[in-house]
Amino acid sequence: MIAASPSSAAPAAPTTHAPRTASAARAHVHTHRLCAHPSEPGYMACNAVARTDVTQQLSLRPHAAPSGYGPSDLQSAYNLPQSGGSGQTVAIIDANDDPNAEQDLATYRSQYGLPECTTANGCFQKVDQNGGSNYPAPDSGWAGEISLDVDMVSAACPQCHILLVEANSASMDDLGTAVNRAVAMGAKFVSNSYGGGEDSTDATSDEKYFNHPGVAITVSSGDSGYGVEYPAASQYVTAVGGTSLQQDSSARGWSETVWGSSAGGEGAGSGCSQYDNKPAWQQDSGCANRTVADVASVADPATGLAVYDTYQASGWNVYGGTSASAPFIAGVYALAGAPGASDTPASYPYTHTSALNDVTNGANGSCSPSYLCTAGDGYDGPTGLGTPNGTAAFAK
């Protein structure tokens, strides 16, 4: 597998992950976060994690394939069509600029035989948070996040258009302004791969930035194991958890467990919000407020995704984190079709639970009640209702 070089935006020491499969524990993998934890209230960090225990490659040898899962793997694992999504636009919300976003996306899509997605053909568009081209300062950590996001949308929905909106900073106000900009520009699917601590202003941010009926807004649940981040806790968004994904000999051909361990401190975020109200469509009994997450997909860097990133990085990498699962699920929503104009699309999976793969093994910490951090039959915190089995769970 291929790893990322250290980012100037992620000075934290590397961590070691040892997620489990249904059969046996795998070897430990070494990782680092692409973005540092927020240094002050109201600021967010991206939820991307890079492998550091293997070597990057700027280009591949003839007939060689990138390490990490690619589009055909994910389409197989989640029973997704190879076509669909034509005419739909998925917006990616991130802080700072990735000067190489379009050219790196072109390399990823060319490698996997996906249709070109460029400014010239109208498939790709990059704007600042005001809708113009006065892009913010570049940042290597967020550039890696951007590469992960656009590649995961491409993997889920190769026919979708991609709108990248770059916020001036990682403050919730700037990122929220970018969300509003994406919706104003017509995006019906908006991915947010960042989070920070909850606080008493979250309800205000909910109404200012995330209350957009008829728009499917996905948010990564976090990478620090059991515990709740905002804006995943917003009652208006689909909070996306994470799994470890392995090929196996089952009828599906794949199996999944929670990304994380019972020791906590790593893996997909989950839990009971301190401040956000419980939406009417969420019925679990152990949390009076909003419960995170709703659904999930692969996020474990040990079973990570091939990503191409060259801004202060060296090409083919293997990335993970719930920053992978949020844009992927946004792409699945786009495959399922435009939401109802007055709907909150986060409610859709709750009415189509049979169209999801229930994840029943693994944990991201210790807690009470245990379902908030431990997988089991039906709903649980780390993986929500489960992972996509086709697109029906994400349709109106």
3-state secondary structure the chain: CCCCCCCCCCCCCCEEECCECCCCECCCEEEEECCCCCCCCCECEECCEEECCCCCECCCCCCCCCCCECHHHHHHHCCCCCCCCCCCEEEEEEECECCCHHHHHHHHHHHCCCCCCCCCCCCEEEEECCCCCCCCCECHHHHHHHHHHHHHHHHHCCCCEEEEEEECCCEHHHHHHHHHHHHHCCCCEEEECEEECCCCCHHHHHHHHHCCCCCEEEEECCCEEEECCECCCCCCCEEEEEEEEEECCCCCCEEEEECECCCCCCEEEEEEEEEEECCCCCCCCCCCEEEECCEEEECCHHHCEEEEECCCCCEEEEEECHHHHHHHHHHHHHHHCCCCCCCCHHHHHHHCHHHEECCCCCECCCCCCHHHCECCCCCECCCECCEECCCHHHCC
User: How confident is residue 49, by pLDDT bands cut at 50, 70 and 90?
Assistant: very high
Confidence of residue 38 (pLDDT cuts 50, 70, 90): confident
> What is the structure's pLDDT at 40?
86
At 234-243, the pLDDT tens digits run 999 999 999 9
Half-sphere exposure of 37 (CA within 13 A, CB side): 7
Q: How far apart are CA 250 and CA 262, in angstroms?
A: 26
The pLDDT value recorded for residue 298 is 98
pTM score, whole prediction:
0.93
Name residues whose C-beta falls within 8 Å of residue 132's C-beta, 6 or more positions apart in sequence: none
Q: Give me the pLDDT at residue 62, please.
A: 72
Arithmetic mean of pLDDT, 180-187: 98
Is 80 exceeded by the pLDDT of residue 168? yes
pLDDT for 58 = 77
**pLDDT (0 to 100) of residue 201:** 95
* Res 4: pLDDT: 36
Mean pLDDT value across residues 317-344: 98
Question: Residues 331-379: pLDDT tens digits?
Answer: 999 999 999 999 999 999 999 999 999 999 999 999 999 999 999 999 9
**pLDDT band for position 7 (cuts 50, 70, 90):** very low
For the segment 207-220, the average pLDDT, to the nearest whole number, is 98
Q: In what order do the strands lie in the sheet with 305-309?
A: 15-17, 29-33, 49-51, 315-320, 305-309
Percent of the chain with pLDDT over 90: 87
Mean pLDDT to the nearest integer, 116-134: 98
User: What number of CA atoms fall less than 13 Å from residue 268's CA on the CB side?
Assistant: 40
Residue 27 has pLDDT above 60, yes or no: no
Six-digit token pair at 66?
Answer: 């990138």
Work out the average pLDDT over 22-49.
Answer: 80
For the cut 70, the answer to whether the pLDDT of residue 26 exceeds it is no
What's the pLDDT score for residue 39? 79
Which pLDDT tens digit goes with each residue over 52-110? Answer: 987 677 777 776 789 999 999 999 999 999 888 999 999 999 999 999 999 999 999 99
